[in-house]
Amino acid sequence: MKLALVQMEIKERNCAGNTKHGLTLLEEAARQSDLVILPEIWTTGYSLGHLKEEAVSLDSPLVETLRGIAVKYQCSLLPGSLPVLKNGLVYNMIPAINKEGKIVHQYGKAHLFGMFEEEKFFAPGDAFDVFDLDGVCCGSTICYDLRFPEFYRYLALQGAQLIVCPAEWPSRRGDGFDLLSRARAFENHVYVAAVNCVGTFKGDPFYGHSRVVDPMNNILAEGGSSEEIIYAEIDLERVAKVRRTLNALTDVRFTIQKPGENK
């Protein structure tokens, strides 16, 4: 499977411009890949106070456009995350769209970033299951989720071969993005596609450096600090081979408890 990671520049308070630009980049990527992934809330950026007015539904014109692109280019999409209005609540959500244009999975960001008080603007998601895209067992996570190893382990134990992580990760914490994306791939014997953005938010630059990491901690492809599309091929036999020879997933002890809980 050939992946395309769209590392786009996201501009503050420019939903229409971001959307138009993102769709242009997405179409370019879809022409020459099997799966395209975009960053976190790429339409709106991190202007959280305006999310509800700019949120979309899963039957909105934007999502219909995404579904049409998938069919046109016969390319699956994990089109970053979008602010999705559902049952009166806004979720930071990734809709998984297969090449037939069907939404086969919806993941709302589970771990909301307390530093930015995301819980005031988003409802937490609870869809922690894996899903199939063109024969690849996938799992979705978003940005801050990368800091929670148990979530990645849970997806891996369900059979995930590829876990994606759209993000808006700042440069000042870029070392964490580097370390955690590689650790999550290595400890779970999965491919991790971490798709960041570039640009700034309130003068604070985003890190970029989107990358695909293989199950043995090798970076297959990585972006820089500018807007670009990063391409990488993943081989599912690589996952199977690693799990046949060194499989921490079968050796994990779930009986270990928090200190004090076993007294």
* Residues identified as active-site: 40, 109, 143
Quote the CA–CA distance of 83 and 43 in Å, as a whole number.
8
Q: Which helix (H) or strand (E) holds 157?
A: helix 149-157
Which among 42, 16, 32, 2 has a CA at the least distance from the CA of 227?
42
Residues 6+ apart with CB under 8 A from 256: none
Q: Tell me, rounded to whole angstroms, the distance of Cα 175 from its chain centroid.
A: 18
Quote the CA–CA distance of 109 and 140 in Å, as a whole number.
9
Neighbouring C-beta atoms of residue 237, cutoff 10 Å:
7
20, burial (CB in 10 Å: exposed 0-12, middle 13-18, buried 19+) = exposed
| Six token digits for residue 51 | 């999310």
* Start-to-end CA span in the chain (Å): 49
The DSSP call for residue 50 is G
Residues 6+ apart with CB under 8 A from 152: 139, 141, 163, 184, 187, 188, 190
Neighbouring C-beta atoms of residue 87, cutoff 10 Å:
6
